[in-house]
Structures are given as C-alpha cells and as structure tokens.
C-alpha cells in the first residue's frame, strides 16, 4: 500500500494526512474485497524496514493502527471476518499488542473472509525463521519451510498488487509470490478503491496461468 506520502505532498498536506487517507482506503478496499467475494486479502501495513522512518511518523502510524482496531473490529466481526497478522507485531508497544491480540481472539472463529495485516513484516526474515524452525524438525524441504511460514494455513497467493508506480516487491511475500500474478498501477494508495480493485481482478481473470507448463 504505497503512496501515502506522495498523496499528501501533492495536496500540500503533512505526511500524517496521507497516512490517515491510507487508512480510509484500507476500509474501502477491505469492504470491497468482501463484496467481490475474495477469500483472503493481505495488506502490507508496516514493514520491518519502516522502523528507520522518523520517530514522529512511526508514532502517527501506530496511532492510526490503534484507532483502526478500536473503531473497525466490531464491523469486521459482524461481517464474519477473521483477522490475522503476519510479522512480529509484538515489537510494538504494549497497548498495540494488547489491541491486536484482543482483535485476533475476537475474530478467530469467523469464516466468511480473512483479512491479513502484515505488521513489522519482512519476507527475508520470515524465510530465515521458517528455515530454522524446519531444520529443528527434520530435513529442509519446500513443504517443511512452507509449514513454518507466517502465512501457513492461508490460501495460496494469486495476485499481488503494487500501487504508486513502484515496480518491485519490497521484501513482501517472496516465497508466496513464486507463481502469483503481479499487477502494478500508478494509482497512489489513498485513491485505490473498489473500482480500482475490480480493474485489477478483471486484469487477473484475463491472464492464462500455466505454472511452468505449456
């Protein structure tokens, strides 16, 4: 979900305003995903590299995270949405951790749709951790590594969408993306909505997926 800062800059607003608009986009897109029948939606909210950002920006982001959980968890639960978090969210302050764990517990038995939030997530770290855990249990095989990934138990990744004109993966779901389709758009994340998601899905549906075959 890239482009919050540039969205704000174009409007002569502080970066915090861009992040707030980005959270509004999260609401729009997560609702749209349910309406369009998607089984699972994963949103890259905070990478393990984001700790390098200015302290005030990190504070703004964690504040928005707290607000989102408090204000939106009831709606998610009412719509049978299961929340899941990948990455080491326990690196955040105690209040954030408590809110996250409360939301996970509240929604853990829901089955209508899964909303996955990547927090303090980095795919290289995920792979290193998964390989180490697999090695403790026996031979390191693709299946053994996959069973230890943060995404274990989730459906396979079909489509990865990158906003704001960036054409790279930025350490996101490197293992899971092996046979996923990639979709790049110049649209900044705060402008991404149901119409934009539908366009990405239509593009995806028109592709022929051969998984290395003819």
Q: What is the pLDDT of residue 212?
A: 76
Architecture of 4-205 per CATH?
3-Layer(aba) Sandwich (3.40)
3-state helix, strand and coil shares in percent for the chain, rounded to the nearest 5: 50, 15, 35
Q: What is the pLDDT of residue 214?
A: 61
Question: What is the token pair recorded at 47?
Answer: 């990478």
Task: Report yes or no: 183 and 160 within 8 Å, Cβ to Cβ.
Answer: yes
Coil/strand/helix, residue 212: coil
Question: What is the token pair recorded at 161?
Answer: 């969408």
Compute φ and ψ for 183, nearest 5 degrees. Answer: -135, 120
Put the strands of the sheet holding 40-47 in their side by side order: 40-47, 113-121, 81-86
Q: What is the pTM of this model?
A: 0.94
Burial of 3 (0-12, 13-18, 19+ CB in 10 A): buried
Q: Kindly calculate the radius of gyration of the chain based on its CA atoms and give it in whole angstroms.
A: 17
Question: What is the token pair recorded at 117?
Answer: 């939030």
Helix (H) or strand (E) holding 118, with range, is strand 113-121
- Choosing from 4, 50, 88, 158, which is the catalytic residue? 50
Question: What is the token pair recorded at 151?
Answer: 């995404």
Active-site residue flag, 50: yes
How many angstroms separate the CA atoms of 128 and 112, rounded?
Answer: 32
- Mode of pairing for the β-strands spanning 181-184 and 159-162: parallel
In tens digits, what is the pLDDT along the chain, a chain of 214 residues?
Answer: 999 999 999 999 999 999 999 999 999 999 999 999 999 999 999 999 999 999 999 999 999 999 999 999 999 999 999 999 999 999 999 999 999 999 999 999 999 999 999 999 999 999 999 999 999 999 999 999 999 999 999 999 999 999 999 999 999 999 999 999 999 999 999 999 999 999 999 999 999 988 776 6
How many angstroms separate the CA atoms of 188 and 196, rounded?
Answer: 11
* Residue-range domain boundaries for the chain: 4-205
- Choosing from 2, 60, 72, 150, which is the catalytic residue? 2
Which are the contacts of 74, defined by CB distance < 8 A and separation ≥ 6?
Answer: none
């Amino acid at each position: 979900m890239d482009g919050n800062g540039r969205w704000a800059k174009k409007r002569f607003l502080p970066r915090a305003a861009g992040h707030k608009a980005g959270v509004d986009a999260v609401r729009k897109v997560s609702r749209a995903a349910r309406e369009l029948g998607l089984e699972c939606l994963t949103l890259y909210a905070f990478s393990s590299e984001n700790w390098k950002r200015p302290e005030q920006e990190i504070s703004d982001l964690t504040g928005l995270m707290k607000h989102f959980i408090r204000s939106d968890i009831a709606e998610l639960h009412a719509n049978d949405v299961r929340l899941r978090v990948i990455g080491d969210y326990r690196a955040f302050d105690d209040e954030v951790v408590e809110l996250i764990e409360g939301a996970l517990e509240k929604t853990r038995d829901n089955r209508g749709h899964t909303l996955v939030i990547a927090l303090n997530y980095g795919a290289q770290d995920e792979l290193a951790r998964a390989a180490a855990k697999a090695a403790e249990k026996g031979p390191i095989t693709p299946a053994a590594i996959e069973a230890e990934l943060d995404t274990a138990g989730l459906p396979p990744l079909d489509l990865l969408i990158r906003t704001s004109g960036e054409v790279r993966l930025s350490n996101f779901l490197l293992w899971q993306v092996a046979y996923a389709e990639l979709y790049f758009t110049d649209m900044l994340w705060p402008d991404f909505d149901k119409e934009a998601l539908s366009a990405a899905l239509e593009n995806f549906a028109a592709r022929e997926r051969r998984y290395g075959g003819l």
